[in-house]
Structure 1
């Protein structure tokens, strides 16, 4: 009864508002995660986030691998490992970069997927804009707190996001979305486990850290995933992609409000370049949805 009422309330909200709510939830989750790094490290926070999300989804979806082919099992495992790797590398990048910078660079991953294989001159423009934004941050971002190691880690996260999108399409043909996430994150937890133990140590048993990381898992994974699922039933993928293009801007705002991070001219210009590239690729390219990042 409660679940049905929740769904009815969600469907009463305009889908555009749901997507913006999902984007905001993800970036608030990232901002709060940044505040826990001093206690459990990026690896520890990433491990607990993935673990909590996996446990909740396993309880809700109750997935099974029975009757699945080896190819299907290998694909869903790769899907989960990629997702966990994306979360881990993003948090490691966030430990060296302001939130807006990290998300701006990471967002080049789905943009690369959107224009991959295209021979149109216009798509070269979108790649050039996004690439220019990243180079600007790497070369002139020292006053915005940008460290080269953070840029490289954010590019790793971007690559993982791109791979995740491609694997999600393959997984979606044989698994339900929630089922795939539950199974994938269960294996993904194993990938992040060593980093979690090394960086988190005894802090992983702290009630305060556990509670905070559970909140991060809810904000960064469970809430946005649910909102996006409901929104996509009533929203075209092109509009969805346009709204998702606002994510770097929302991340920068979350960094200012939650973490007290400043906005420099270099960051604003780079952010605008990447957002314009994403909007342009969405309006002129193939319709595609970008799953939740970070």
Structure 2
């Protein structure tokens, strides 16, 4: 007799790592769609298809939503939508690895601020040094608009991690995502629809966006939510330290974006800062899930 592998038996760290890798692959694969319908259009299509998939899979019950849940669900949906749109806008202007490193400042700062020791605040500073090495402003090639989009994504990512843990505590499995991703699609619609309508639209864009949406947000965000329900902010933020490295690796393999030795040093500093920011442990299961 075979034994079924339940999510509770899968280590939380393995779900988080798998989610990180899938997110970076989906972002790299989105570059071709961005060239056709723009970053906001790409984000909107991904959210729309993701919403359809998640609602069909999870079939969330609106009766389980309490009045107190509504602000958190709306906030998480809006943050998710703009996190994706801002990051794709950054990737449209700066290398994937650099965008990930800048965006990583968000969850890294959350990990430092929620740590037990104030000295942990030094690690976001070290990561910032790494980001400077990555952007190489002394060469005069820095794209300030791209950096601004990445910083916006960093703020959204920080809020996303905090809100995801709250929503994940209330809703079991991926039902929370099935409620928030449709909100993300609505939030990004005013920016995404004009780009889709005004772009050189073709049917392959829909097929590609649907495939990428199944990777992110459906599978990857679902794995993240399951992982965050069983990990502290500090443990999750520390584990995220490898995501900038995943971004660089994906950029090399998928987009042929080869970093310079100075940029590799910058990534190393960001990863080191994330790993040292805060050590955490397992998070006790949350009560009261719907």
Pairwise TM-score range, normalised by the shorter structure: 0.7 to 0.9
Which of these residues, 23, 42, 49, is aligned with residue 20 of structure 2? 23
User: What is the deviation of 1:71?
Assistant: 2.8
- List per-residue Cα deviations over 1:134-193 (Å, max 9, x = no partner): 3344452758x6411111110100000111122223323433351221111111111111
Q: TM-score, normalised by structure 1?
A: 0.83
Q: Does 1:174 align with 2:188?
A: no
User: What is the deviation of 1:241?
Assistant: 5.0
Q: Give the corresponding residue for 2:93.
A: 96
Per mean C-alpha deviation after superposition, the further-off stretch among 237-246 and 256-265 is: 237-246
Per mean C-alpha deviation after superposition, the further-off stretch among 56-65 and 220-229 is: 220-229
Which of these residues, 90, 102, 114, is aligned with residue 105 of structure 1? 102
- List per-residue Cα deviations over 1:105-161 (Å, max 9, x = no partner): 101111111111558353132121012223344452758x64111111101000001
Q: TM-score, normalised by structure 2?
A: 0.84
Which of these residues, 185, 192, 203, is aligned with residue 189 of structure 1? 185
Distance 1:25 1:165 in 2: 17
Change (3 A) 1:55 1:166: same
How many residue pairs get matched?
Answer: 282
Unaligned runs of 5+ in 2: 284-290
- List per-residue Cα deviations over 1:49-88 (Å, max 9, x = no partner): 1111111111112223336443311221111111111001
Aligned-pair Cα RMSD in Å: 3.2
Change (3 A) 1:276 1:206: same
Distance 1:117 1:19 in 2: 19
Per mean C-alpha deviation after superposition, the further-off stretch among 237-246 and 174-183 is: 237-246
Unaligned runs of 5+ in 1: 289-294
Which of these residues, 58, 61, 65, is aligned with residue 61 of structure 1? 58
Change (3 A) 1:8 1:30: same
Which of these residues, 155, 158, 165, is aligned with residue 161 of structure 2? 165
User: What is the deviation of 1:268?
Assistant: 1.3
Q: SS of the residue aligned with 1:256?
A: helix
Q: Contact (CA 8 Å) 1:137, 1:146: kept in 2 or not?
A: no
Moved runs in structure 1, 4+ residues, more than 4 A?
9-19, 202-205, 226-243, 285-288
Q: Give the corresponding residue for 1:45.
A: 42
Q: Contact (CA 8 Å) 1:31, 1:258: kept in 2 or not?
A: yes
User: What is the deviation of 1:199?
Assistant: 1.5
Distance 1:15 1:157 in 2: 24
